[in-house]
Structure 1
Amino acid sequence: MDEVDPGDFRTRVRQSFGRQAFMETLGADLTRVEHAMVEIEMPFDAKLTQQHGFLHAGVISAALDAACGYAAYTVIDPDASILTIEFKVNLLSPGRGERFLFRGEITKPGSTIIVADGRAYALTNGPAKLIASMSGSMMVIRGREDVTG
């Protein structure tokens, strides 16, 4: 395994995201990693819709959770990890688009609990349309061999 600079949060986030089989199942890609902000994008896929042909709320929630969790991951120590402990999603408009963007941003960093906000956008040829918002709490995990990276 390659040595990773412990201060290189971008590499740590990308490596961890690469191990998320569910995000791969959704066809999601990590497209932007900044301090306290992460973006994930995915194409429309009819296999991920509900009965009306809109992107399923569970898919939207999972992608927002991942974006917020990885945003939290950018602000913690290299030897710590993150687990979501609570979130609320507001579905604002049907998930209809060619692609979707999920952005997670840190609202309040902390040594034990981190609060993040997420926004989901439907992308087409026109302007991006806000389809959902999320507020979540993430717990910083230290010293557990079964919860790493």
Structure 2
Amino acid sequence: MAQKVLDAQPFSRLVRARVTRFGEGAATLEIGIREELHQQNGFVHGGVLAYAADNSITFAAGTTLGPAVLTSGFSIQYVRPATGAKLVARAVVVHSGRRQAVVRCELFTVGDKGGEAGEGSEGEGGETLCAIAQGTVLSTA
């Protein structure tokens, strides 16, 4: 069901996002990294990371608030340029009330297309933290 909702968003289809975890106060979104998602220096564009944070935050909140939710706001801190084969956004609800939830998200890249481990990486196939986000999601029901 979560993937069906994601697929209803034209931009999500454009970046080819997939929901790989959904439930119990958490959601994970994954995007295969390809050239069209890069900025001029060869890193994943910050807008793609922000999109992944926003959507994973909202999906995680939806597991506690129900399906009728909207992001009220979020902040993101980019900690390292994003490179690799896949972007993973893992969001977890840290507080949920009747009408709003606060959610934390960590964004990682996985693998390295060049075959070499980057700074902070655990090698080919390892995860590298590239951004941290936190947001507030409101129930619209």
TM-score over 0.5 for the alignment? yes
Which residue is equivalent to 1:24?
Answer: 13
Structure 1 runs (4+) deviating above 6 angstroms are none
Q: Deviations over 1:64-87 (max 9, x none)?
A: 11001000111124xx51111111
CA distance in structure 2 between the partners assigned to 1:35 and 1:98 by the alignment: 28
1:33 Cα offset (Å): 1.3
The DSSP-based 3-state class of the residue aligned with 1:102 is strand
CA distance in structure 1 between the partners assigned to 2:4 and 2:85 by the alignment: 27
Which residue is equivalent to 2:71?
Answer: 84
Is the contact between residue 115 and residue 136 of structure 1 (CA under 8 Å) also seen in structure 2?
yes
* Pairing 1:61-80 to 2, within 5 Å after superposition: 61-77=50-66
Q: Deviations over 1:54-103 (max 9, x none)?
A: 001111001111001000111124xx511111110000010101111111
CA distance in structure 1 between the partners assigned to 2:33 and 2:125 by the alignment: 16
Which residue is equivalent to 1:8?
Answer: none
Which residue is equivalent to 1:93?
Answer: 80
Structure 2 length normalisation: TM-score? 0.86
Identity percentage of aligned residues: 24
The DSSP-based 3-state class of the residue aligned with 1:33 is strand
1:43 to 32, 35, 39: 32
Structure 1 length normalisation: TM-score? 0.82
**Over the residues paired in the alignment, what is the CA RMSD in angstroms?**
1.2
Give the total of aligned pairs: 129
CA distance in structure 1 between the partners assigned to 2:105 and 2:12 by the alignment: 16
The runs of 5 or more residues in structure 1 that have no matched partner are 1-10, 143-149
Is the contact between residue 23 and residue 63 of structure 1 (CA under 8 Å) also seen in structure 2?
no
Q: Does 1:106 align with 2:93?
A: yes
The runs of 5 or more residues in structure 2 that have no matched partner are 112-123
Q: Does 1:140 align with 2:139?
A: yes
Amino acid at match of 2:74: F
Which residue is equivalent to 2:114?
Answer: none
The DSSP-based 3-state class of the residue aligned with 2:65 is coil
1:44 Cα offset (Å): 0.9
Bigger shift: 25-34 or 13-22?
13-22
